[in-house]
Amino acid sequence: MSLGFLARRLGARLGQGAIQSTHTPRLFSSRASLRTSRSRIGAISGGILLATGLGLSSSPIHADSDYDDSTNSKASTPLRELVRSYIVYTMCSFPVLIDLSPMMLDVLTSIPGVKQVTEAVVRITFFDQFVGGDTALQTLPLLKSLRSANKGALFAYSVEVDEQEATAAAASPKKVSQPVHKRIVNEMVHCIDVAADFEDGIVAGATAGRRTWVAIKLSALLPDANALLHYSTALLASRPKSSIPFPGCPHASDLDIIYAPIGSIKGDLTEDDIKSLRELHGDLNRICKRAKERGVKIIIDAEYSWYQPAIDALQLALMGEFNKLGGSNDVQPLIYGTFQAYLRRTQSYLEQSFKDAKAGNYSLGVKLVRGAYHPRETIAHRSHQSGKPSLSISSEPLPPVWAEKRETDECYNECAKMLIGELKEDLGRKVQTMGILFGTHNWTSCELILRELVATGLAKRVEGEGEDVMSLGDEVTERLTIGQLFGECCMSDALTDYLVGRTRSSTPMIIKYVPYGALSEVMPYLSRRAIENKSVLGDGQASEERRRAGSQIWKRIFG
């Protein structure tokens, strides 16, 4: 069967879908004039992308596998979403294309005329695939859809400050009405209010079972992310030698450095750095106070290892204040930190964090992930060791990350078992002293987590629904959640649906990470997400995602 014939059949089906959805409001548009031009450009871009996606594939649409899609929950997914997924994961199958994407976007969006087409292409592919909407309010239909399927959401305003632009802006005498990082801080507060209002609309006044949380990224809340780098360097120099590998473990006295007299500044820290860090601490307190008032949990994202000592220090201070046991806060823990299993330190750091929380009388919030920056971490460490310019600040001979994915997997699974063991013990305490968010797209890890829950008695088999279905009480689901990235028709959705199908709970135990932001604002995030997906979708995963979407496309067209 010819490629041209297939494209014509698919085009006809897509055209029918467009006619049928004429009266459906467009979620991501804010003005009618933009809707019209955007739809025209989108139609042209869609045709280009369809031809590109089919052309890039060196084999037929991947329907020749023995994978059984007959029970796939995506059987009802609109055809255009399937085509979008097929194109996105076709692109993710070409590492060179993904690596060059940031540079390509910079060039293409700088050319008048080409800019509009480029943005339209990005919008109907990666934006619609991975972003919930242009604004927090525009994601509400998605949040409602997720909740109707017993899924929660981890809200994230995914605007990332370009470090070179931020540094240049900081050095410029030009005054602006409000710095970018301050607008992001204000948006985080607004995001908390949107999340809280959504939860209040479900059960007004309830403090338990609230499953719309907010993620924050500290490097985006500064005028210059180098302040985190310089602070991290100063912290490493001031901390006593530790058996925990780089980037080490935070100490209660870490904030003393930024609140010491300006004249006592040492190392790479500048007066501007100190002012920025003090301001950041104040902004974080403002964000967390609003979160406490509104009953919304805050998840602090992990970043590159050279920022992590500074992030750990601020995270520890926030947990010590807002996760304090015996206080007025009904939501515990309110603040969660992110632990990356690909770092060599993670298991020992996690053990120490529990000791610190007990000694400090606060609840420990743990988001456990594998980590997304492995290639850059290894390259930076290698350059640093050879004396070349590098952002790495580790003095250790081994890189901060494990060399093999197998080691990361083992670390993640061992940490998961440790956390579930701690959770079991926590149920016997009078107050909740911990909370866990397992962030993973790994089926093996998810199966392990479910097995451990049953083995420890934290989950019970549900009679009459098959031996694989389990029930979890509120005392468990208030302490444990599993999350995956938002992305229609991708592996995370298949895994999410599988987990929802296997668990029974009164409140959502599974949540989706839902980023939002205007297209022009989230372009850096989308570039980073594409690069991260190159590793997340390794070992043929991108091809499998493309095959899954392709199988459904084939069935829609040919039956």
pLDDT (mean) for 214-237: 96
Residue 541: the pLDDT is 66
Q: Is the pLDDT of residue 37 over 50?
A: no
> Where does the pLDDT of residue 490 fall: very low under 50, low under 70, confident under 90, or very high at 90 and above?
low
> What is the model's pTM?
0.84
Convert 500-525 into a string of H (helix), E (strand) and C (coil): HHHEECCCCCEEEEEEECCHHHHHHH
Instruction: Map out the domains of the chain with their CATH numbers.
Output: 3-558 (3.20.20.220)
Distances (CA, A) of 53 to 9, 26, 102, 179, 412: 15, 24, 19, 40, 35
* Residues forming beta bridges with residue 362, ordered by sequence position: 324
Closest to 345 (Cα-Cα) out of 298, 309, 379 = 309
**Count of CA atoms in the C-beta half-sphere (13 A) of 452:** 20
> Where does the pLDDT of residue 398 fall: very low under 50, low under 70, confident under 90, or very high at 90 and above?
very high
308-322 helix and 226-238 helix, angle to the nearest 10 degrees: 80
User: Average pLDDT of the chain?
Assistant: 83
Residue 524: the pLDDT is 77
- Is the model more confident about 3 or about 120? 120
- Is the model more confident about 408 or about 72? 408
Rounded CA Rg of the chain? 24
How far is it, in rounded angstroms, from Cα 553 to Cα 559? Answer: 9
pLDDT (mean) for 42-47: 45
How far is it, in rounded angstroms, from Cα 444 to Cα 1? Answer: 38
How many CB atoms neighbour CB 387 within 10 A? 7
How far is it, in rounded angstroms, from Cα 129 to Cα 442? Answer: 20
